[in-house]
Amino acid sequence: MSPEAIAAILLIGSFLIMITLRFPIAFAIGISSLITILYIGLPVMQIVQNMVGGINKFTLMAVPFFILAGEIMGAGGISNRLIHLSNALVGWIRGGLAMVNIMASMFFGGISGSSAADTASIGSILIPMMKKQGYDPEFATNVTMASSVQGILIPPSHNMVIFAMVAGSVSIGKLFLAGMIPGIVLGVALMIYSFYVSVKKQYPKGDSFSWKNVFKAFLDSFLGLFTVIIVVVGVIGGVFTATESAAIAVVYSFIITFFVYREIPLSEFWNILGRSIKTLSIVLILISTSAAFGWILTFLKVPEIVANFILAVTQSKIMILILLNIMMLILGMIMDMASIILIATPILLPVAMHVGIDPVHFGVVMILNLGIGLITPPVGSTLFIGSAISGVKIERLSKTMLPFYAVMLGVLFLITYFPAVVMTIPNWIMP
Amino acid sequence: MKKFYDYIYLFFLTLCKLLFIVTVVVTAYLVFGRFILHSQPVWGEEIVLMSITYMALISAALAIRDDSHMKMTIIEFMIPKKWVNVLKIIALIVICIFALFMVVEGIKFAYIMRLSKMTGLQIKTTWLYLAVPVSGVAIILMVSEKFLEALGLIAKTKSKAEIDEENNRLSGKQAARERL
């Protein structure tokens, strides 16, 4: 066996052993890189250089800014406004609150871009309301968790920025546009299933539809929703870069929250900063150490070896897509989203591109796969939050979630094998 | 002793918050400069990147105290709790070794980088790379607290998961109360 092959095994093997033994992933990545670089005999300072190089990128700045903007809007009372707007739009349908839950997640996703934040803020309001109106606690929680996955598809999504950064030469604007239709399709599919359950179980309707209510709720939430317009139109129109639009979104959401909505005092900003830093403390170090890991992967030609191996098994695009989906679903079940994007993208993307899959299409498929992973046991962060809010045990939620998984896998199948669902809008607007 | 660690944590958290504010304000000023003033300061992008580098690396230490770093917890369902605690201690030792590496090699690399300059800020690139050893020191401090906790010498800090669960329950109950 060549020294490069042994080094590759050492890199991936030591990493897998450490994460299995419950080591923090960011450090497992750094340590396996260090062990491998010592084995190869390269200067260990390469790790220091790559760790700084990985985060010392202006494009990356969009990630902390989107997270901060989402935190500010979330704390400033936007959730209630979005729920009112959703209630005016779809609350009149049978199973009104389930519909409201899904639609509010669709809107909220455009602001937070996080499934966990969506479940925590929308869920803490709607799950108790749904229970009170006679919905099964399991159904109420499952609707909240499943619909929260829309948040990572609908722009702006910081995970898409991370993907674009790792993939290289992938337009963030195109990725944002590509996530829109899959996010909406997922919402509609969940609404259809929820309607079916609601009719069967005779869940209540809300107030009857009125244009006046819609208009009033829209006006009330418009300023908050305008954040999405700034980001999406700014990036897609080429007016701003993703980082610039994210910085504007932070300033804009700061003004709207503290000087227009004024539901929280200005002093609360200090706590919001703290919460954002807690999220970033997990994500940024991961990006930093992954840069060193990625550098060694490339040095050892691991992506090329994996691509050759998979392509030796099959050259069929359909088979490779099935294979990639299965791999990403399994990875999503055991690891967190950002880690997988950072580690698996450099390995799997070349395989996908080799069989003619557009990197933007692959990015959206990957995000949905990993989004499903957020609500599956044993390691589903959103699943844990849903369980904590509703008080329903994870085992019970996982069982009752099965039909929702089926709906989501149906949407995944659709976007995987019908690339037009993903690519039509980006190809049309940004050819 | 617990107080000492509280102050250390507060110091690093405050530092990260201030760096984050600098990042947002300077980036917003860069946008303002580009679109309104039609000129951008040359130091802008460099100061933003330097702030985020320090913030990113130092904040990694904060997540050690909260025990919120991403990890695969599947093994917790398979082995007794006693062994999980042993694994936690082994992980802390390995993190500590990596942090030491960050301190030693970070200083060496920063020293080498004294020969190059950041064009916008007109300072040595050493300052950028010093973020690595500074973060290494912060991580060692936070890991040492975890060791003392494991040895039962100081009270246990609540993990992020425990705090989140508590907050979520509270917010759920509060929302329900508001509805009533």
Residue B93 has pLDDT above 60, yes or no: yes
In tens, the pLDDT along B28-45 reads 999 989 888 888 888 999
pLDDT above 50 (res B161): yes
Mean pLDDT, all residues of chain A: 89
Residue A273 has pLDDT above 90, yes or no: yes
Mean pLDDT value across residues B63-74: 85
B102 to chain A: which residues are within 8 Å by CB?
48
Percent of chain A with pLDDT over 70: 100
Q: Is the pLDDT of residue A193 over 90?
A: yes
CB B98 within 8 A of CB A27: yes
- What ipTM does this complex have? 0.87
Query: Which residue in chain B is spatially nearest to A123 when comparing CA positions?
Result: B172
Model pLDDT, residue B110: 95
Residues 64-83 of B with CB under 8 A from A: 64, 66, 68-77
Residue B124 β-bridge partners: B117
Nearest C-alpha in A relative to B109: A45
Least confident window among A8-17, A241-250, B70-79 = B70-79
Q: Which residues in chain B have Cβ-Cβ distances shorter than 8 Å to A120?
A: 168, 171
Nearest to A55 by CA among A240, A283, A235: A283
B59: contact with A, CB 8 A cutoff = yes
Closest residue in B to A392 (Cα–Cα): B169
- Which residue intervals of A133-169 are DSSP H helices? 137-148, 150-153, 158-167
Q: What are phi and psi of A253, to 5 degrees?
A: -65, -30
- Chain A nearest-CA residue for B71: A24
Q: pLDDT band for A143, please (50, 70, 90 cuts).
A: very high
Mean pLDDT for chain B overall: 86
- Which residues, in sequence order, are CB contacts of B36 under 8 Å at separation 6+? none
Interchain CB contact of B140 with A (< 8 Å): no
> How many CB pairs below 8 Å do chains A and B form together?
212
Partners of B20 on chain A (C-beta within 8 Å) are 64, 68, 273, 276-277, 280
Mean pLDDT of A357-362: 94
Q: Residue A226's pLDDT is what? A: 84
pLDDT tens, residue by residue, A106-137: 888 777 778 888 888 788 888 988 898 899 99
B91 touches A: beta carbon within 8 Å? yes
Q: How confident is the model at residue B164 (pLDDT cuts 50, 70, 90)?
A: low
**Confidence band, pLDDT 50/70/90 cuts, at residue A360:** very high
CB atoms within 10 A of CB A17: 12
Q: B165: which DSSP letter? A: H
Calpha distance A264→B23 (Å, rounded): 23
Give the pLDDT confidence score for residue B141 in this predicted structure. 95
Report the SS3 class of residue B118: strand
Distance in angstroms (rounded) separating the CA atoms of residues A205 and B88? 50
Say which residues have a Cβ less than 8 Å from residue A174's Cβ, sequence separation at least 6. A360, A426, A430
In whole angstroms, what is the distance from residue A154 CA to residue B171 CA?
Answer: 26
Residue of B12, B50, B52 best to disrupt the A interface, most CBs of A under 10 A: B52
Judging contacts by C-beta atoms under 8 Å, the chain A residues touching residue B62 are 277-278, 281
Q: What's the confidence (pLDDT) of residue B162?
A: 62
Q: Is the pLDDT of residue B172 over 70?
A: no
Which one has a higher pLDDT value, B86 or A207? B86
- B124 in helix, strand or coil? strand
Of B66, B88, B108, the CB nearest to A278: B66
Predicted pLDDT of residue A31: 95
The DSSP code for A61 is: G
Tens digit of each residue's pLDDT (9 = 90 or more) over A368-426: 999 998 898 877 778 888 888 888 888 888 889 999 999 999 999 999 999 999 999 99
Instruction: Give the pLDDT confidence score for residue A411 in this predicted structure.
Output: 96
Residue B29's DSSP bridge partners are none
Min distance B45 CA to chain A CA atoms (Å):
7
B131:A23 CB<8 A: no
Mean pLDDT of A272-288: 90
pLDDT of B25 strictly over 60: yes
pLDDT at B178: 45
User: What's residue B64's pLDDT?
Assistant: 93
pLDDT in tens, A226-270: 887 888 788 877 788 888 888 988 999 899 999 988 888 999 999
Per-residue model confidence as pLDDT tens digits over B115-132: 999 988 889 999 999 999
Q: Which helix (H) or strand (E) segment is A379 a member of?
A: none
Asked whether the predicted pLDDT for residue B176 surpasses 50, the reply is no
Cross-chain residue pair B63–A278, CB shorter than 8 Å: yes
pTM of the model as a whole: 0.84
State whether residue B28 sits within 8 Å of chain A by CB: yes
